[in-house]
Amino acid sequence: MLRVGSRVACTACRNLVSTNMGVRFRVPLQKLHPLSRAIHHRYSANANPQRPPHRTAARHFTSMSRLPMRPAKPPPGSGGHGYQQQRNFWVARLAARLLRLRYILLGSAVGGGYTAKKTYEEWKDLLPDFSEYNWVIPDFIWELSEQIDLEKLAKALPEIEEIAKLLPDMDKIGENFTFLKSLLSSGLSLGSEVKGASGLHLLLETSGDPPLKATDSPAAGTSESSDKQYKKSSDREKLDQLQEELLRTQMRYQRMLERLEKENKELRKVVLQKDDKGIHQRKVKKSLIDMYSEVLDILSDYDSNYNTQDHLPRVVVVGDQSAGKTSVLEMIAQARIFPRGSGEMMTRSPVKVTLSEGPHHVAMFKDSGREFDLSKEEDLAALRHEIELRMRKSVKEGQTVSPETISLSVKGPGIQRMVLVDLPGVISTVTAGMAADTKETIFSISKAYMQNPNAIILCIQDGSVDAERSIVTDLVSQMDPQGKRTIFVLTKVDLAEKNLASPNRIQQIVEGKLFPMKALGYFAVVTGKGSSGESIESIKDYEEDFFQNSRLLREGMLKAHQVTTKNLSLAVSDCFWKMVRESVEQQADAFKASRFNLETEWKNNYPRLRELDRNELYEKAKNEILDEVISLSQVTPKHWEAILQKKLWERVSTHVIENIYLPAAQTMNSGTFNTTVDIKLKQWTDKQLPHKALEVAWETLQEEFARFMAEYKGKDQDDIFDKLKEAVKDESIKRHKWNEMAMDSLRVIQHNALEDRSITDKPQWDAAIQFMEETLQSRLKDTDSVITDMVGPDWKQRWLGWTNRTAEQHVRNETKNELERLLKLHEDHTAYLANDEVTTVRKNLEGRGVEVDPVLIKDTWHQLYRRHFLQKALAHCNLCKRGFYYYQRHFVDSELECNDVVLFWRIQRMLGITANTLRQQLTNTEVRRLEKNVKEVLEDFGEDTEKKMQLITGRRVQLAEDLKKVREIQEKLEAFIEALHKEK
């Protein structure tokens, strides 16, 4: 039983491993047996005094001993010799204990010094790297020394006394070892000694292994049990004191680091402000994170046709609705930048937030130049309002959420560099007011971002609700089953600790034992008390105070590195940049291959064309259209007047012949003729003529504009612009409104022109005769064509064309013949048939077996009389060709009257003056207004991306778009990779 390595332990040995001691025991049990035998045989009456166990125990227990370990040999049979040997080793045994105490104290001092040194080195690492400013050292150092009080900064550094405070409390350790010595001398069990000596070690442990416990010996006496109870309570108090001392030491260390970090921020801020003010003349380059964010913005608009997907890393923030996603992001960004609501959905579209370091705490949208000062509450409110407006604008009618991304950048001192995407919260039920597909849309948006194999998933779980109600954890498990890129964050831990009956449940969550999902790391954070008016600083203070006093951290359920949003942001930033460094070059190679494919396709299909994208093509088409509008202003006045006069006469000729000339020609004398003409011309001028003239001018302008748009043949003419030009033409004409004030002036001009009856010379008279003759001949030709259609083909056409008349044509032909006989008998017949004449004609036709309707008779008479009248008017026009002499004498002593010629002269003169007036208005006003409308339409189309995509289409356009985007992405990626390699 007394041999070294014996398998049988004595009663004191069994007492060492009592289960109620609660000691974390790391030394193998068999190594403690020699020491237990030494203690047992020293104070036990039944011990064998012949064996010297203390020497062996000291050798086995003392780690500092350099002597070789040898088992004790049995002494000679003499009892006195054995007692002398035991007495001689008492001095060595005491020296060994004193040496052990000395080395333990020395080791603690060395360890504390090392900790202080490590703390100082970590603080040095937090200082900014000034290697980029080496080229300005000669001037920069002196100006910087004027701005910064180096003596004040030196005084702010920690003193030796403060660093000494970080070392373990040597008095406490001395008391513990004094207590250990008393226990050794009093003969108590070794359990309390091991427990007291290892209390500090237990607090520093991070593993969750249960402590080793020993069992009580049933053979122990009553006094020994009472000693154990006293020892247990005393040791527990000592352990609690050591734990509290360690927590206070950690908090002092943390506060010192925060103070140093704050001073470091101030120093960096001064340096960055000096950069902004221009200490050096060289232009400051874009930051690394800004370069990376630009690449992501381009990729968000890139629609790949070559399977070059966007696999660049970003931090995707997902979670159940109202789980605290936005609050976590705001804590990382150090500003309350997002709109808030009580339980309702606030995040309606993805928001990409680029975080970077800068001298001032500001925010800015990608497509806006306005900076929001996040240190001012007014700017914060304006920023939240702007984000809410952009979200609502991106949501289409009938939808609740939108996949369109809002890009925002936030800069400030001490902000960790990364790119985060805040997604709409995952919901389990669609409530009133939401679109029916809201749940599926949110799932599809979340999956689209999480399926990126390089995306870091920041899974947010509400700690104040039951874990079984979580939806997002299952979704994250599907997208990242191995948990290689997932970081789990438990929010509202303060409410969880207060409400949960078993705080161990929180420990299970952060250790990854409750959910089936796996993660790289687990964090527990507190994002305030739930009030929307809380500031970031107050939330930080509340979070720090909570974890300082929380039993979760004090009892080891949470580890110090797993709590606070600050530790979370550091871990996420490190993971983000690690992922970027591992994947960015591979992504650049993929886009390089895609660029080669696109360039090859362009060379094969469009070898002689420039690679113009949609915007460049639009600018080219815009210049062509403006050139065409300018060409419209170069039309000659003669061309304008000829077109206007011709079109205006075509529009009003029917009214002049049917409503003015024919009624006036039925009168018996020239006075009545002129009176009728004047009345009807006045009525026409007041009501219809100005409107008709403006309609003709507007139609002429449209036709000429369309003709120039269609006939423009430049050397770079491209059919791809046809749809755009047509749309611009239609929209410009639609927007153009003729100046209404021109109508009144035009009415006066036309009235004055028609009032003039004075033909001054023979050429004017001949021009009027020609105009009248051409008009009458044109009308006569039209009338003959109408009559031919009414009566059908004549005998020659029937024989040669093998055609016959219809029954109606036969009746009309018979009616025509009967009415022609009536006109031969009465050449001066009026324009209308009397009722008795209609009856006579009908009876004559019935006599020949032709049944005819009175209405048909009147219709046929109207056309026949028009032809008869036009033939007589043409004959009279020929007679008036030599009547200018009689006109000058007012047809005195002459039977020839040419008042109809004067009427046509007045009409012709009015057409010329009206055409001239309209031409002046066109060239001076309307063409310029149309050109202005065209420019406005082009500007509006240029700002409307969807409109350009509708009007400029085709594989050639899409190929040029893709090629431009891929080149831009590749160039920016290469620049980013180069800057990434240069960064230390």
Determine the pLDDT at residue 265: 60
Task: Provide the token pair at 915.
Answer: 């055409």
Strand 406-412 with 351-357, pairing: parallel
Q: What is the DSSP letter of 829?
A: -
Residue identified by tokens 């925002």 is: 408
pLDDT band, residue 584 (cuts 50/70/90): confident
pLDDT band, residue 906 (cuts 50/70/90): very high
Neighbours of 442 (CB within 10 A): 24
pLDDT over 70 (residue 101):
no
pLDDT in tens, 667-706: 878 888 889 999 999 999 988 899 999 889 988 988 888 8
pLDDT over 70 (residue 131):
no
pLDDT over 70 (residue 564):
yes
Bridge partners of residue 418, in order along the sequence: 355
Determine the pLDDT at residue 71: 44
Determine the pLDDT at residue 139: 54
Determine the pLDDT at residue 916: 93
Instruction: Give CA torsion, residues 894, 900, 902, 905, to 10 deg.
Output: -150
Mean pLDDT of 826-851: 87
Task: Provide the token pair at 452.
Answer: 């990126």
Q: What is the DSSP string of 83-125?
A: HHHHHHHHHHHHHHHHHHHHHHHHHHHHHHHHHHHHHHHHHHH
Determine the pLDDT at residue 315: 93
For 768, 773, 777, 824, 826, the CA distances from 877, given in Å and listed in that order, are 10, 7, 11, 21, 21
pLDDT over 50 (residue 549):
yes
Strand 418-422 with 456-462, pairing: unpaired
Least-confidence region, from 264-268, 448-452, 671-675, 741-745: 264-268
Is 612 within 8 Å of 960 (Cβ atoms)?
yes
Sign of CA dihedral 68, 74, 80, 86: positive
Polymer length of the chain: 984
Least-confidence region, from 55-59, 423-427, 954-958: 55-59
Mean pLDDT of the chain: 76
Residue identified by tokens 């990854």 is: 512
Determine the pLDDT at residue 806: 86
Give the 3-state secondary structure of residue 364. Answer: strand
Q: Report the alpha-carbon distance of residue 332 to residue 357 in Å, rounded.
A: 12
pLDDT over 90 (residue 239):
no
Mean pLDDT of 933-938: 90
**What is the amino acid identity at position 584?**
V
Is 651 within 8 Å of 691 (Cβ atoms)?
no
Which element (helix H / strand E) includes 916?
A: helix 899-921
Give the 3-state secondary structure of residue 372. Answer: strand
pLDDT band, residue 194 (cuts 50/70/90): very low
pLDDT band, residue 247 (cuts 50/70/90): low
Instruction: Give CA torsion, residues 581, 582, 584, 588, to 10 deg.
Output: 130
For 295, 455, 591, 812, 968, the CA distances from 306, given in Å and listed in that order, are 18, 21, 10, 75, 16
Instruction: Calculate what percentage of the chain has a pLDDT beyond 70.
Output: 71
Determine the pLDDT at residue 590: 86
Side-chain half-sphere CA neighbours of 622 within 13 A: 16
Determine the pLDDT at residue 648: 92
Mean pLDDT of 374-398: 88
Least-confidence region, from 76-85, 575-584, 612-621, 675-684: 76-85
856 burial class (0-12, 13-18, 19+ CB within 10 angstroms)?
A: middle
> Between these two residues, 397 and 911, which has the higher pLDDT value?
911
Determine the pLDDT at residue 96: 64
pLDDT over 50 (residue 196):
no
Task: Provide the token pair at 897.
Answer: 């009257």
pLDDT over 70 (residue 752):
yes
Task: Give the residue from 875, 883, 882, 910 showing the smallest Cα distance to 899.
Answer: 883
Mean pLDDT of 940-956: 88
> Between these two residues, 100 and 584, which has the higher pLDDT value?
584
90 burial class (0-12, 13-18, 19+ CB within 10 angstroms)?
A: exposed
Determine the pLDDT at residue 905: 92
Determine the pLDDT at residue 58: 35
- Going by C-beta distance under 8 Å and a sequence separation of 6 or more, which residues neighbour residue 139? 279, 280
Residue identified by tokens 């004609």 is: 841
Determine the pLDDT at residue 327: 87
Task: Give the residue from 384, 456, 445, 453 showing the smallest Cα distance to 418.
Answer: 456
pLDDT in tens, 479-499: 888 888 999 998 888 888 777
Strand 406-412 with 456-462, pairing: unpaired
Sign of CA dihedral 235, 238, 243, 244: positive
pLDDT band, residue 228 (cuts 50/70/90): low
Is 350 within 8 Å of 422 (Cβ atoms)?
yes
Task: Give the residue from 66, 59, 46 showing the smallest Cα distance to 2.
Answer: 46
- Going by C-beta distance under 8 Å and a sequence separation of 6 or more, which residues neighbour residue 417? 287, 288, 289, 355, 356, 357, 573, 577
* Exposure b/e, 575-608, CB count within 10 A at least 16 = b: bbbebbeebbeebbebbeebbeebeebbeeeeee
Is 492 within 8 Å of 464 (Cβ atoms)?
yes
Backbone angles phi, psi at 522, to 5 degrees: -125, 135
pLDDT band, residue 38 (cuts 50/70/90): very low
> Between these two residues, 528 and 654, which has the higher pLDDT value?
654
Determine the pLDDT at residue 15: 44
Strand order in the sheet with 351-357: 372-373, 362-365, 406-412, 351-357, 418-422, 315-319, 456-462, 486-491, 521-524
Determine the pLDDT at residue 279: 39
Q: Report the alpha-carbon distance of residue 464 to residue 318 in Å, rounded.
A: 17
Determine the pLDDT at residue 316: 93
Which element (helix H / strand E) includes 353?
A: strand 351-357
> Between these two residues, 251 and 605, which has the higher pLDDT value?
605
Determine the pLDDT at residue 266: 64
**What is the amino acid identity at position 676?**
T
Least-confidence region, from 141-150, 307-316, 727-736, 952-961: 141-150
Determine the pLDDT at residue 914: 93
Determine the pLDDT at residue 895: 72
Task: Give the residue from 113, 181, 452, 220 showing the smallest Cα distance to 316.
Answer: 452
Task: Give the residue from 893, 895, 890, 892 showing the smallest Cα distance to 757.
Answer: 890
Q: How far is CA 96 from the centre of its chain?
A: 73
> Between these two residues, 513 and 213, which has the higher pLDDT value?
513
pLDDT over 70 (residue 82):
no
Q: Report the alpha-carbon distance of residue 33 to residue 911 in Å, rounded.
A: 132
Which element (helix H / strand E) includes 576?
A: helix 565-605
Is 789 within 8 Å of 728 (Cβ atoms)?
no
Determine the pLDDT at residue 904: 92
pLDDT in tens, 847-888: 888 888 888 888 999 889 889 989 988 998 888 888 888 787
Mean pLDDT of 307-318: 80
Helices then strands (H, E): number in the chain?
38, 9
Task: Give the residue from 189, 223, 187 showing the smallest Cα distance to 15.
Answer: 189
Least-confidence region, from 51-55, 830-834, 843-847: 51-55
Q: Report the alpha-carbon distance of residue 961 to residue 430 in Å, rounded.
A: 39
pLDDT band, residue 5 (cuts 50/70/90): very low
Give the 3-state secondary structure of residue 876. Answer: helix
pLDDT over 50 (residue 136):
no
Neighbours of 321 (CB within 10 A): 19
Instruction: Give CA torsion, residues 873, 878, 883, 884, to 10 deg.
Output: 100
> Between these two residues, 214 and 123, which has the higher pLDDT value?
123
107 burial class (0-12, 13-18, 19+ CB within 10 angstroms)?
A: exposed
> Between these two residues, 836 and 738, which has the higher pLDDT value?
836
Mean pLDDT of 312-328: 87
pLDDT band, residue 797 (cuts 50/70/90): confident
pLDDT over 70 (residue 563):
yes
Q: Report the alpha-carbon distance of residue 240 to residue 212 in Å, rounded.
A: 18
**What is the amino acid identity at position 748?**
V
Neighbours of 832 (CB within 10 A): 11
> Between these two residues, 284 and 764, which has the higher pLDDT value?
764
pLDDT band, residue 529 (cuts 50/70/90): confident
pLDDT band, residue 156 (cuts 50/70/90): low
Task: Provide the token pair at 984.
Answer: 């230390």
pLDDT in tens, 611-658: 888 888 899 888 888 888 887 778 888 999 999 999 999 999 999 988
pTM: 0.53
Determine the pLDDT at residue 148: 58
Task: Provide the token pair at 14.
Answer: 């069994």
Q: Report the alpha-carbon distance of residue 522 to residue 186 in Å, rounded.
A: 48
pLDDT band, residue 296 (cuts 50/70/90): confident
For 47, 794, 808, 924, the CA distances from 798, given in Å and listed in that order, are 156, 6, 16, 58
Determine the pLDDT at residue 791: 85
**What is the amino acid identity at position 255?**
R
Backbone angles phi, psi at 902, to 5 degrees: -60, -40
Determine the pLDDT at residue 147: 57
